[in-house]
Structure 1
Amino acid sequence: MVKNEARDRGEVPGHSVFGAPCWVSLTARDVEAAENFYRAVFGWEWRPNSHDDRFRVALADGVPVAGIAAVASMWQMAVTWTPYFAVASADDVVARSRERGGTTAVGPIAFPPGRAAVLADRDGAVFGVWEGRLVASVEQWREAAPTFIRLHTRDAFDAAIFYGEVLDWASPSSCCEVQYEADEVVLRNRGTVVARIHSGAVEAAPDPAIRPHWQVHFAVTDLDACIRAATAHGGEVLLREEGAQEALLGDPDGARFTVTSKREP
């Protein structure tokens, strides 16, 4: 249970964000190299974390939008982008995940002004949870660096059950709406699509070749310029179909992310 006095001090997000994606963080080996690459690609500026020099926060127009944690070697973790979901209690989420076959890689551990844990679902896809005051409001975060996430997995329906139970999507305190559309499970927060769970056509059998993972998508105003900057600074284009308005990129350390052309209103 989250204590009322903690909420009164602003240390935890309100019910309107519980269960929703609230942050993305890059697990890296070299902070400076990662800073230089993503500054070139997205124009982000960086500020150090006052509690630990292995961590950095990316700023877009002064708004915190992402983090870098140079702990891949120390924690024996892959170099990767990880989405974080806002929760009322990291301990409760970790317990629910374990009960349903998930595993815990890190935490919960204290990261002032909150607590975090890194988990894997029962198919191995890695995600994080955050308990505490948000670095930036969800609205600011989405406006400054439009982001959504997609889980590529073997069975979207089974994954939706796992995340729905672990992140409490069906509870009155959740801000999320879950719908099944075509071949995806779609998660909305205040009408905005914030996550998708995809496993292919509904009538198709689960594909054992898929390595389940969360893919982070960043919307950009100039897709081609973003791709040029990435390749010029040591990254690579891993997938871009002809005429497609998105591309899968890899940074110099091997972390994958997707850039999507921002659709103007």
Structure 2
Amino acid sequence: MPTSIPLGAPIWADTNSPDVAADLEFYTRLFNWASFDSGEQFGHYTELCLGTTVSVARAVAGISQNPPGEPGMPAGWGVSFHVDDCVQAAADAEKLGGTIISHPMRVGEDLVYAAMRDPDGGAFGLFEPLSDHVGFTAFDEPGAIVWCEYVYDGAPVEAMQFYAELLNWSVRLPDAEDPPRDAPYVALWTHETNVEFGGGRMALGPELDMKPHWVVCFGTDTVELTVSKAVDLGGSVVVAPMEDPGGRMAVLASPTGAHFSVMSSRERANAA
């Protein structure tokens, strides 16, 4: 196995953008990331990392320009999950009611990838690593992804059954002693390694007008300072800082409109 990331867990996240230069300026300054362009061969896909040089860089996420035929595609973050056979996983997803957006394809010598939609219309990726140079090398710390959450206008336990069957997840309802939530919620765990990596919840407020979607959440030491910095850099606040059972969090949008969350890693750790 070329990676220590458990099967079924998030292994990568990236965002498309109609203006990569503007979004790169925003994200790199907001999270103190370095960016590394993969070159013309790979469509100038850019890796975002903690660390300033290739020798010490730890991968957090990626960003790509909108496809030439869809320059006006809305910006948005997506999540890909670790599978050991992308071709088989894509076929299994179809049998379970999912849809293939782009068929499994090999990307250089590093990975096989397929873009998918679940039965409710939520987009996600299937990612088969072929080397130890791909996937997250920074996770669950300030500046890196700490959580992935599925937002759905309905009972989340029902929406997550597709993923549970496809990716061998455990979907767990809150215990009676858990803090109350504003909407029905389930926790998501890898089955074999018993790692909790995210959750699914019912949509609230403005989210009811959105399609089902995955939200990526980046860690920060102080939510309020990150929110203020994001606004100064041209981003906007979608949901103001608030207390959540998992920690203090807020929802932001990049200058091109891609939604993402920030959460205080320290508070999240204390709450766990």
- Shorter-chain TM-score bucket reads 0.7 to 0.9
Matched residues in 2 for 1:242 and 1:108: separation? 39
1:175-213 CA distance string (max 9 Å, x none): x54422253221235554211011279xxxxx9756311
Tell me the equivalent position of 2:54: none
CA contact (8 A) 1:25 1:82 kept: yes
Tell me the equivalent position of 2:12: 23
Query: More displaced, 214-223 or 64-73?
Result: 64-73
Which of 21, 30, 39 pairs up with 1:41?
A: 30
Listed as ranges, the matches of 1:196-235 within 5 Å are 196-199=199-202, 211-235=211-235
Matched residues in 2 for 1:106 and 1:117: separation? 6
Tell me the equivalent position of 1:3: none
Tell me the equivalent position of 1:103: 99
Note the C-alpha offset of 1:252: 0.8
CA contact (8 A) 1:148 1:193 kept: no
Tell me the equivalent position of 1:142: 140
Tell me the equivalent position of 1:68: 63
Tell me the equivalent position of 1:163: 163
Note the C-alpha offset of 1:22: 0.9
CA contact (8 A) 2:16 2:64 kept: yes
Matched residues in 1 for 2:195 and 2:258: separation? 26
Distance 1:130 1:30, change over 3 A: same
Note the C-alpha offset of 1:142: 3.5
TM-score, reference length from structure 1: 0.80
Question: 5+ residue gaps in structure 1?
Answer: 1-6, 170-175, 202-206
**What residue identity is the alignment partner of 2:122?**
A
Question: 5+ residue gaps in structure 2?
Answer: 52-56, 176-183
Distance 1:242 1:106, change over 3 A: same
- Counting aligned pairs with the same residue, the percent is 25
Which of 239, 248, 252 pairs up with 1:249?
A: 252
Q: Is residue 152 of structure 1 aligned with residue 151 of structure 2?
A: yes
RMSD: 2.7
Query: More displaced, 184-193 or 221-230?
Result: 184-193
TM-score, reference length from structure 2: 0.78
